[in-house]
């Protein structure tokens, strides 16, 4: 078996869902962890469990990454040269449901910052050290909606499109330095994300759902192999190139039929 190439990792949004899935799989690989999320109690509980089960060191950072001073703490940790973070997993994210013009702008800005600006800042903080060491990795958790219009989740889709584009471009910039950057294009995943966003899962397409561990495993396998992108789940791997190739008028028509509910 190939040994996982990274000995330390920071995972954002690690207290539940896909982020927790990454943390658990990394701990099984013997990787020391820096876990970042807002829920400190949950992070401490997870850290104690992983340290006991796998003998790894787990550092907890209770941070709201949409707060300027708190995201700066994560940046400082990533820039430390005496305790280098060899793998960054940009997983923290948020969404909401509703017509853009009717939603509070503060909520939409929160989504845009957490999904797009924070990964940009954290990647910028860790890349100089990775390049200098000639090794490192970043996993950016994006979504299939990055290539789709998404009525009632417009900011979420736009922020994931930004993240996917940034991730692919950075991958091309740093590959020659031995640094791997992978975009994970997720489909529907049982992670608690939709419930937190106020999106009823009964209203979503009836398609095979992924587990958080499936998504995390696909991301870790891809970054270890140096692949710039991965799509967990065979059904989604088939759909993504079809969505990219289809005329936008067709994509809009399908999206409208599947996702947009009539106004009452």
Active site residues: 156, 160
Q: Which residue spans within the chain are E strands per DSSP? A: 8-12, 32-37, 58-62, 87-90, 136-143, 179-186, 189-190, 210-211, 229-230
Give me the phi and psi of 230, to 5 degrees please: -150, 150
Give the DSSP H/E element, type plus range, for residue 163: helix 154-174
Q: What are the CA-CA distances from residue 181 to residues 33, 110, 138, 169, 184 (Å)?
A: 19, 25, 5, 9, 10
Q: What are the CA-CA distances from residue 94 to residues 47, 108, 144, 180, 207 (Å)?
A: 23, 9, 15, 25, 22
**Residue 76: CB atoms within 10 Å:** 10
């Amino acid at each position: 078996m190939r040994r996982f190439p990274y000995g330390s990792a920071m995972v954002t949004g690690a207290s539940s869902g896909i982020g927790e899935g990454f943390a658990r799989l990394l701990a099984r690989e013997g990787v020391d962890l820096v876990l970042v999320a807002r829920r400190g109690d949950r992070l401490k509980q997870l850290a104690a469990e992983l340290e006991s089960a796998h003998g790894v060191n787990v550092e907890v950072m209770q941070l709201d990454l949409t707060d300027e001073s708190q995201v700066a703490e994560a940046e400082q940790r990533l820039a430390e040269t005496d305790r280098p973070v060899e793998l960054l997993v940009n997983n923290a994210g948020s969404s909401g449901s509703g017509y853009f013009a009717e939603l509070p702008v503060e909520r939409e800005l929160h989504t845009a910052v957490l999904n797009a600006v924070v990964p940009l800042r954290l990647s910028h903080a860790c890349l100089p050290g990775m390049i200098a060491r000639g090794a490192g990795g970043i996993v950016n958790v994006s979504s299939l909606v990055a290539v789709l219009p998404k009525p009632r989740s417009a900011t979420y889709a736009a922020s994931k499109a930004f993240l996917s584009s940034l991730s692919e471009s950075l991958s091309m910039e740093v590959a020659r330095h031995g640094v791997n950057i992978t975009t994970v294009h997720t489909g529907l995943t049982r992670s608690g994300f939709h419930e937190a966003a106020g999106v009823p899962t009964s209203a979503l397409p009836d398609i095979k759902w992924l587990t958080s561990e499936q998504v995390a495993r696909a991301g870790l396998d891809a970054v270890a192999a140096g692949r710039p992108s991965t799509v967990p789940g065979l059904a989604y791997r088939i759909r993504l190139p079809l969505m990219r190739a289809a005329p936008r008028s067709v994509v809009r028509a399908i999206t409208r039929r599947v996702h947009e509910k009539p106004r009452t």
